[in-house]
C-alpha cells in the first residue's frame, strides 16, 4: 500500500499529521533532497513539497518526473504561494492540449 507524504518546514507540514499523512519537517533544502533521493521515496504514491523548498530541489524532483511513483506535487508553504506549482500545471496543460487554456 502506498503512502502520502508532505515535505516542508515544521510550521507548513504539522497540520498534515492530523490527516494521517507522513510529514517530513526539514530545516533546509539538503534534507529535502535527501528524502527525495532516498529509496524509500518510491514507497509513496504522492509527495507534496512546499514551493519554497521545491525551488531549491529542482534536480531531485526531476528524478521522479518520469517514474510512476511518487508524484511530486508543489504546495504553498506557510509564507504563501510563489506561483511555481500553478505555473507547472499550466505548462503541462499547454503541452497536452496545445494551448494555455488556464490563462496566466
Distances (CA, A) of 65 to 17, 59, 73, 101: 26, 10, 11, 23
d(CA 21, CA 6): 7
Instruction: Give me the chain's average pLDDT, please.
Output: 84
List residues bridging with 62 in a β-sheet: none
pLDDT, one tens digit per residue, over 41-90 is 989 999 999 999 998 999 999 988 888 889 888 888 877 666 665 566 65
Residue 102 has pLDDT above 90, yes or no: no
Phi, then psi, of 91 in degrees rounded to 5 = -65, -40
Read off φ and ψ for residue 37, nearest 5 degrees.
-90, -10
Q: Which domains does the chain have, with CATH numbers?
A: 3-97 (3.40.50.10580)
The residue behind cell 509564507 is 79
Amino acid at each position: 500500500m502506498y503512502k502520502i507524504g508532505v515535505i516542508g518546514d515544521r510550521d507548513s507540514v504539522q497540520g498534515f499529521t492530523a490527516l494521517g499523512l507522513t510529514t517530513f519537517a526539514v530545516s533546509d533544502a539538503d534534507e529535502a533532497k535527501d528524502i527525495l533521493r532516498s529509496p524509500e521515496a518510491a514507497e509513496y504514491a504522492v509527495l507534496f513539497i512546499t514551493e519554497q523548498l521545491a525551488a531549491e530541489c529542482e534536480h531531485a524532483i526531476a528524478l521522479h518526473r518520469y517514474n510512476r511513483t511518487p508524484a511530486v506535487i508543489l504546495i504553498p508553504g506557510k509564507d504563501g504561494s510563489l506561483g511555481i506549482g500553478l505555473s507547472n500545471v499550466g505548462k503541462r496543460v499547454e503541452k497536452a492540449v496545445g494551448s494555455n487554456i488556464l490563462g496566466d
